[in-house]
């Protein structure tokens, strides 16, 4: 009997302990209720002294521009922007003035001037109020360019690149270009002439190392461009968009010779010009950037913008353009093709 009583007492004490524990626990829950999370943790970077530098080296331009921007903590969309209080009338709060830009080409310095947009038109062309320019640069294949930017308030940045070589072209005998599929597609390889791919046998390009560009062009010639559904393409009257392709580090486009929308009834034949853009690594990556999976979705994959600028961000890019002799494409095919539409 005594042992039963002892067991009963122990059980009662246990239940009391449990109840006290529960009471304490429930009280603690009220203290913790709605407990906010703290800030995220990670390696902080002093962005106030960081710069972005971008420049495109093109032998076609008579002025070379170097754009220098600062890093901002907030997006321009986050800013409660007071346009009246800023110094400039155009809304550029990113460009940086007072920087020293040094450019060396194969070791020799170039004269760099600071430039300021003085009219809305000058601003809207480039979207930079302050920029740095080199007048009449001589940009030749094989040159090694180095650009450094220093500023008393920011970290120095540096980038370098080599102007790519242009490509050479080789002509091949012309072939009939026809298709029964109603879709105009080109192929570099004669073996792919089946399945609706049209062999471009009159032309191919070689690189300096002798390798042929023989990759397939899988893009279709989108009929929308020709029917006028895409107003942008109709405006410029170029037939280049759907055929543009990025291959290795070259971009290819096909343009109508006259830059006019072709009228098949008034044309004896069609002249196309192949442009091959030899790009350096920087421009190649920037060209790819529209295809990045980084869209404005919260679920998207964060992908770093390509940069070849050391100690900052941005890109120093260069290209060479090479044009082929004209290519004649069978007129009857086009007439039939357009009439079918």
Partner 1 sequence: MTHFSLQDTLTFSPQFSCGVKISPKQEIQLHWGRYHQDLITIGTEEVILSMFDAWVTVPQYFPVMACTQYALSYQCEIRRHLELNASVFHKYFSNLVEYNTTKFSTLDPDFVNGTGMASGLELSLRGVLGPFQGWLSYTLSQVRKEVNGVRYPPKYDKPHDLDLIVNCRLSKKWSMGGRFVLSSGTPFTKIIAYSHQPFLSATNVIGCNEFPIYSERNAWRLPVYHRLDINFIKRFCMFSRPMEFYIDVANVYARLNVLAYTRDRQTWIQMPPLATLGIRGKLW
Which of 141, 264 has the CB closer to partner 1? 141
Judge whether 296 and 258 are in contact, CB under 8 Å.
no
Which of 68, 329 has the CB closer to partner 1? 68
Q: State how far the Cα of 248 lies from the Cα of 65, in Å rounded to an integer.
A: 27
Binding of residue 128 to partner 1 (CB under 8 A): yes
Chain position carrying tokens 């970077």: 45
> Could you tell me which stretch among 106-114, 160-168, 175-183, 285-293 binds partner 1 (CB under 8 A)?
285-293
Chain position carrying tokens 């640069």: 137
Q: State how far the Cα of 19 lies from the Cα of 35, in Å rounded to an integer.
A: 25
Binding of residue 152 to partner 1 (CB under 8 A): no
Chain position carrying tokens 């037939």: 239
Sites for partner 1 among residues 160-219 (CB under 8 A): 218
> Could you tell me which stretch among 145-153, 184-192, 225-233, 315-323 binds partner 1 (CB under 8 A)?
315-323
Task: Identify the residue among 321, 322, 333, 338 touching partner 1 (CB under 8 A).
Answer: 321
Task: Identify the residue among 49, 59, 71, 310 touching partner 1 (CB under 8 A).
Answer: 71
Binding of residue 72 to partner 1 (CB under 8 A): yes
Residues 6 or more apart whose CB falls under 8 angstroms from that of 255 comprise 238, 239, 240, 272, 273, 275
Q: State how far the Cα of 287 lies from the Cα of 247, in Å rounded to an integer.
A: 11
Binding of residue 69 to partner 1 (CB under 8 A): yes
Nearest approach in angstroms of CB 289 to partner 1 is 8
Task: Identify the residue among 208, 258, 300, 323 touching partner 1 (CB under 8 A).
Answer: 300
Which of 123, 270 has the CB closer to partner 1? 123
**Contact string 242-261 vs partner 1 (x = CB under 8 A):** ----x----x----------
Q: State how far the Cα of 114 lies from the Cα of 106, in Å rounded to an integer.
A: 22
Binding of residue 279 to partner 1 (CB under 8 A): yes
Q: State how far the Cα of 216 lies from the Cα of 195, in Å rounded to an integer.
A: 13
Tokens, residue 216:
């397939």
Q: State how far the Cα of 334 lies from the Cα of 270, in Å rounded to an integer.
A: 9
Sites for partner 1 among residues 16-45 (CB under 8 A): 17-18, 22, 29-30, 32-43, 45
């Amino acid at each position: 009997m005594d042992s039963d009583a002892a067991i009963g007492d122990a059980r009662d004490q246990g239940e009391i302990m449990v109840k006290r524990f529960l009471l304490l626990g429930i009280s603690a829950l009220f203290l913790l209720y709605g407990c906010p999370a703290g800030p995220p943790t990670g390696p902080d970077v002093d962005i106030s002294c960081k710069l972005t530098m971008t420049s495109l080296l093109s032998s076609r331009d008579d002025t070379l521009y170097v754009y220098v921007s600062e890093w901002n903590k907030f997006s321009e969309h986050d800013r409660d922007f007071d346009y009246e209080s800023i110094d400039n009338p155009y809304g550029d709060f990113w460009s940086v003035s007072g920087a020293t830009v040094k450019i060396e080409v194969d070791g020799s310095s170039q004269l760099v001037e600071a430039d300021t947009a003085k009219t809305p038109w000058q601003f809207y062309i480039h979207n930079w109020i302050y920029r740095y320019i080199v007048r009449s640069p001589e940009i030749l294949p094989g040159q090694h360019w180095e650009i450094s930017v220093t500023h008393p308030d920011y970290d120095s940045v540096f980038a370098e690149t080599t102007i790519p070589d242009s490509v050479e072209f080789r002509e091949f005998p012309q072939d009939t270009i026809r298709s029964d599929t109603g879709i105009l597609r080109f192929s570099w390889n004669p073996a792919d002439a089946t399945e609706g791919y049209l062999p471009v046998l009159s032309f191919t390009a070689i690189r300096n190392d002798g390798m042929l560009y023989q990759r397939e062009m899988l893009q279709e010639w989108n009929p929308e461009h020709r029917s006028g559904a895409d107003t942008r393409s109709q405006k410029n009257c170029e037939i280049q968009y759907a055929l543009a392709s990025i291959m290795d580090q070259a971009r290819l486009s096909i343009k109508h010779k006259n830059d006019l929308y072709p009228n098949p009834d008034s044309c004896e034949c069609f002249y196309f010009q192949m442009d091959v853009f030899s790009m350096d690594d920087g421009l190649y990556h920037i060209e790819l950037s529209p295809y990045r999976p980084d869209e404005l979705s919260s679920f998207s994959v964060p992908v770093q913008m390509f940069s070849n600028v050391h100690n900052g961000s941005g890109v120093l890019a260069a290209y060479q353009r090479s044009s082929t002799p004209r290519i004649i494409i069978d007129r009857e095919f086009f007439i039939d093709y357009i009439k079918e539409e």
